[in-house]
Each structure stands twice: as structure tokens, then as C-alpha cells.
Chain A
Amino acid sequence: MNKITNNKAWFLVLPVFFIVAISAIIPLMTVVNYSVQDIFDPQTRFFVGTEWFEQVLADRRLHDALIRQIVYTMSVLFIEVPLGIAVALTLPRNGWGVSASMVLLALPLLIPWNVVGTIWQIFGRADIGLGGYVINLMGIDYNYAQNPMDAWLTVLVMDVWHWTSLIVLLCYAGLRSIPDAYYQAAKIDGASRWAVFRFIQLPKMQSVLVIGVLLRFMDSFMIYTEPFVLTGGGPGNATTFLSQFLTRMAVGQFDLGPAAAFSLVYFLIILLVCWVFYTVVMNAGKQGEQ
């Protein structure tokens, strides 16, 4: 086949180029600008090279926040993904129960993030919140405003409450696409319940699960609003995650240079993890096909 060469076709890409430039590249370049310069005002600025990066990467408080963030995100994934799959497996496949459970599951997803924070802030309080009151009534000394562990667990439970539904809905969609014949064949082949899950349900859910895990990774790695409303990052720094640390640096202390340098690092971490995860999962599926 002969390819037609028409360089004018490149002009058709221009609108997209402009939109992407304005929406993503130019704002990002601002960050890059700030990350390599010390800017006092548009006339007074000095090129500092990698100084901000070195400073930020050596910051112990940032190390702590990063570790906290990684532990938090891993916990979120390790709880939400298996829980989401488990719930999806138990949902009804037909009848009125389907719509009822869909509505119930979708509810947390429809609540604005800062409202979620507020709900849990009140719910967890020992004096006026139902949750906090009941826990204290059971003899457990629970106070998320004072005890770092309590605060951390509360943020975690809040995230599980808020976002497990997303995994459930995605998995449910994957499960619904499996024809009945697969289950019947498995029965006839004498497959155990575990084998049905392992060899039929899980492979069919794989693609939606990849999306689910990526979304939950990115979202939880960038979590800001809910802990900000719930605990304000405290007590101490117990629930100060990366984005909150960044905000404090940029808006609170007005250290724009280090903040910009860290923004880039932050962005690259997320990009890298997503890319590695996606590539590994997709290649694992293809292995041995040929």
C-alpha cells in the first residue's frame, strides 16, 4: 500500500495542540520555572539549578510525609480492592436487589469530598458523633483529635467508606459481562468455588480492576480535602500527607521554589508508578500467547 504524504494534515493537530498547551503544558512550565529559579518578582530572579530539588529531597519532614503517604496508599489499596471484589461477588445478579444495591453503593461517590470530611469529623466525635460515642461506650478510648493512631485509622476508614463503592461498581460491571455458560462449564468441569474465582471471574475482572487500582492509587496518593477537613493533618503530623505538606510549603510558608521542585517530583512519582504498574500487568497477561 502506498502512503499518501500530506504535510498539511499536521495543521489538523493544531487545535488539540493549543488546548493541551494552555491546559497542561504552560501551567506546568510555570512550575518548572519556579523549580529552577529563585523568583522574588518578575524582574528579580536568579537561576539556582538543582538547589531546590536537593533541598527538598533532603528534607526529613518530607521523608516522613512520603513514608506516611506510601503506607496510607498501600493500606487503602489492600483494603479497598479485596473488599470491593468481595462485595461485588455477593451482589445480586438480577431482581430488584440490583437497583437497590446500585443506588446504595453510588451514594458515597456522589458526596462532595469536603462534605465527606465534615460528615466523618462529626460522626467520629466522642461527644456528639454517633460513631465516636458508640466506640467509647464499648470501653475503647477513642479520640481522633488527640490520638495519632485514632486519627490515622479514622482517615483510612473514611476513605474505605468513600471509595470502596468505586471498586465494587467496576468489578460488578466486569462480573456481569461473564456469560452463564462459563459458570455452567465450570460446574461440569468440577471446579471449586475458588477455581471459579481464580480462572473465570478474576481474569474477566482484570481490565476493570487495573483501571480501579490506578484510579485509587492516584486519588489516594493525592488525597487532600478529606484529611484537611477531618484532622487538618494532625494531631502533630500524623495525618499530614504529601499534598497537604506541599500546600503548607507553598501557601503557608510561601516557599515557592522548593514547593515547585517538590510538585515536579510528586508528579513524576505518580506517573512512574502508574506506568510501571500498567506495563507490568498488561505484559503479564500477554505472556506465552505466542
Chain B
Amino acid sequence: MARIDLKSLAHSYFPDPKTDEDYALRRMEHVWEDGGAYALLGPSGCGKTTLLNIISGLLTPSHGQVLFDGKDVTQLAPEERNIAQVFQFPVIYDTMTVYDNLAFPLRNRGIDEKRVDARVREIAGMLDLTGKLKQKARGLGADEKQTISLGRGLVRDDVSAILFDEPLTVIDPHLKWVLRRKLKEIHNKLRPTMVYVTHDQVEALTFADKVVVMYGGKVVQLGTPQELFENPAHTFVGYFIGSPGMNIMDCKIDDGAAWVDGQRIGLSDRHLEAISKQSGKIELGIRPEFLTLETGTDTKGPGGDGSGVEVNITKVEDLGQFKIATTRFGASEIKVKLGEDEQVTGQSGVLRFAPEWTKLYADSQLVA
């Protein structure tokens, strides 16, 4: 197991990249701790697979270095890096039995049969494959095949890291959950360094200790699921993580408050001090969880000090454990998450912003 350092790493598929757009992966500097479970989360085409292939050595980066435990492995081939990788679609050796499939990575490295046998049986036990060891792999279903692929990734106990490239795409929803639990279990037991690529936030947040959110070839935030939720460093993180995502509104700063469509939203001194040094496009973001909606007789009125904003309520969805109200003022649509017991009466109400959870962004980057 190893710590992974990415030193001024960048990659372009063009021979002579000029603008930022030519880079599939923009310059980054990261340290991923030994034994950590990391998820690379981002939309399609954001560079997560590129980054994964650079770490595994299938791709040589055009700039920068990859270090495993301080050792430069940038120019090493995948087999010399001692890494395991599981791909999006099951890769199995059709003509071999399940047993031989699992033993393949070990036998290729000349490990003696006794040890191979012990490892294969141990991994097969963990993945519930013991009863199928003698079967030919080609007759199995997609999820069993993918389980074998996972097994081939786990079977070597000396790997620097195990990389997963959206491994559960082809798996049934129910089994997805089972396999994810299993991976988590294995991680807790063996503590390998794991890097898990996905575009599914639930998968990322349940699997990983640390989530690396990528967007447009950049790592926009690296943090625990809680950090990503409470303190999104980029509007994309706010919008991508959470269900529904963060409400993001264009705003202007004036007279000690934020103005959104002519409505005043109160800010703290901390906000005002930080934003005074910034220029560019200013946006205000707040998670639906941190908004309160007052309707009917409960409302104490908007209050001209910016503590509340008058809104029209366009839709209320009851999702069982909670409700989502869609509200509107001016051109802004704002979603509010309500408890299942909260009642919404009438077509209008007052929205209150919790100042400590109100975030300001300049050019999409978190300011305060």
C-alpha cells in the first residue's frame, strides 16, 4: 500500500497545448494518503478516467510526476507500478475458470501455487464466489463477471493501490449496494489505498473517506463528504452534491448586504470583509437544507433589514421523509427542503437565509 503524490501533474492529448482548453487535466498538486479510500467524482468528460489512467500507468502524463511512497513512477508501465485496476465493464478471461481468472495476476508474477491457492480461496470467500470456482467464466452473468474483475483487483495483497473505474455501472441496483458494502468492508479490513471513479454522488459519498470532485479537468475540491456538503469550494460542488443541489443566484454587493433581483439578503461581517477584496462575477449560494420558509400566519413579515425575502411558492413535492418546495422571486428559482411535518399554506411566504450557511462565490470560487 502506498501514498500517492501528484506533483504539478497535468495532461493534454494534444502534442503542443496552448490554452487551458487543450488540457484534459489541468495542473494539480495533491497527496493521497496511504490506506485512504478516495472517490473521484465528476460529470462525464471531466477528466476522472484520464487521472485514473495516469495513476495506473496506462497513460503517461504530458506534465508533472506521479509518486508512490515518494518514488517517482511517472515513466513506469502499469505492471511495474504494482497496481490493480477494475474497469467499467467486466474484463474476464473467457476460456479460464473462475479460479484461474482470480489466480491469473498472481501466477503471472510467479507466486508459488500454494500461496496462490490460499489467496484465491480467501478472496473468493469474501466475494461469495467459492461455489463457482470450478465454472468457466464465460457462462456467468454480468454482475458475477464484474465480481470476478473485482476479485482480480483484490487478489494481490502487495499492490500500491486499487483503482476502480465506475465498476458498478453494469450491476443491478440491489447488487450495487451489496458490492459497495463489500468493498467498504474489504477496505476496513485490509486498508488498501483505493481510488474509486464515479459520477454517482451516492456511490462516492458512501464509499469514500475523501471525495475528490472534478470539473472541467480540474480538481475543484478534495474533502470529506461533510466538508463537501457544508462548505462547497466551488459552485459546481454545491450544485453537483446534495439532492437537490445548492441554490445559486447572481447577486450584487451593496450597502452591507447582497442584492438578488432587487431583494436584500443580509450578510455577516465575515462575508463583507472577504468579498470586498474580490472582483468578477459574484454569486450567492445556499443549500435547500439551510433555508426556512414561513407561510400563512407564522410569518413575521420580510423585515426590510434583509433577514427575509418574500417569495411565491410554485410547487411543493412530498418525497416521504421530506418535502421540497420550489419558490420564486424575480428571475431566481430557489428550492427549500422542509421536514415532513412542516405545512405550507398559501401561494406566498417568506424565505429566511441562515447567515452562517450563506456562501459567496466570486467567479465560481468560494470566498466566504
Contacts and interface: CB of A to CB of B under 8 A. Distances in A.
Do A and B originate from a single complex? yes
A188 B152 CA distance: 10
Interface string A151-195: 000000000000000000000000000010110110111111001
Given A288-B134, A288-B135, A289-B136, A188 B89 contact: no
B275 interface: no
A188 B79 contact: yes
A287 B134 CA distance: 11
B56 A190 contact: no
A288 B89 contact: no
Interface of A: 179, 181-182, 184-185, 187-192, 195, 199-200, 203-204, 285, 287-290
Contact of B89 (A181, A192, A203, A289): A181
A190 B105 contact: yes
A73 B78 CA distance: 44
Given A182-B91, A289-B135, A289-B138, A188 B109 contact: no
Most buried by B among A185, A187, A192: A185
B95 interface: yes
A290 B56 contact: no
A235 to B, nearest CB: 47
Contacts, number: 65
Contacts of B87: 181, 184-185
Contacts of A204: 94
B91 A288 contact: no
B79 A287 contact: no
B135 A290 contact: yes
B276 interface: no
Most buried by B among A190, A195, A203: A190
Most buried by A among B89, B93, B94, B135: B93
A185 to B, nearest CB: 4
A200 B94 CA distance: 8
Contact of B105 (A184, A189, A199, A200): A189
Nearest to A289: B139
A162 B3 CA distance: 58
Contacts of A191: 104, 108
Given A199-B93, A288-B97, A189 B104 contact: yes
B58 A189 contact: no
A190 B108 contact: yes
Contacts of A289: 135-136, 138-139
Contacts of A185: 85, 87, 91, 149, 152
A190 B79 contact: yes
Interface in B72-99: 77-79, 83-85, 87-89, 91, 93-97
Q: Which 5 A-B pairs have the closest CB atoms?
A: A289-B139, A190-B108, A185-B91, A189-B105, A181-B87
Contact of B58 (A187, A200, A290): A187
A289 B85 CA distance: 26
A185 B104 CA distance: 11
Most buried by B among A188, A200, A204, A288: A188
B27 to A, nearest CB: 25
A288 to B, nearest CB: 5
Contact of B96 (A181, A190, A199, A290): A199
Contacts of B94: 203-204
Most buried by B among A189, A190, A289, A290: A189
B136 A288 contact: yes
Contacts of A195: 108
19 contacts: A181-B87, A184-B56, A184-B78, A185-B87, A185-B152, A188-B78, A188-B79, A189-B152, A191-B104, A191-B108, A192-B108, A199-B93, A199-B95, A199-B96, A200-B93, A204-B94, A285-B95, A288-B134, A289-B136
Contacts of A285: 95, 138
Nearest to B105: A189
Interface string B129-142: 00000111011000
A184 B58 contact: yes
A188 B56 contact: yes
A7 to B, nearest CB: 38
Contacts of B91: 179, 181-182, 185
Contacts of A179: 89, 91
A188 B78 CA distance: 5
A189 B108 contact: yes
Given A188-B58, A289-B136, 4 more contacts: A181-B87, A184-B53, A184-B87, A289-B139
A191 B97 CA distance: 17
A257 to B, nearest CB: 50
A287 B139 CA distance: 10
Interface string B102-141: 0011001100000000000000000000000011101100
B85 A203 contact: no
Contacts of B85: 184-185, 188
B53 to A, nearest CB: 8
Nearest to B137: A289
Interface string B36-67: 00000000000000000100101000000000
Interface in B135-181: 135-136, 138-139, 149, 152
Contacts of B134: 288
A203 B53 CA distance: 26
Contacts of A187: 58, 77-79
B152 to A, nearest CB: 7
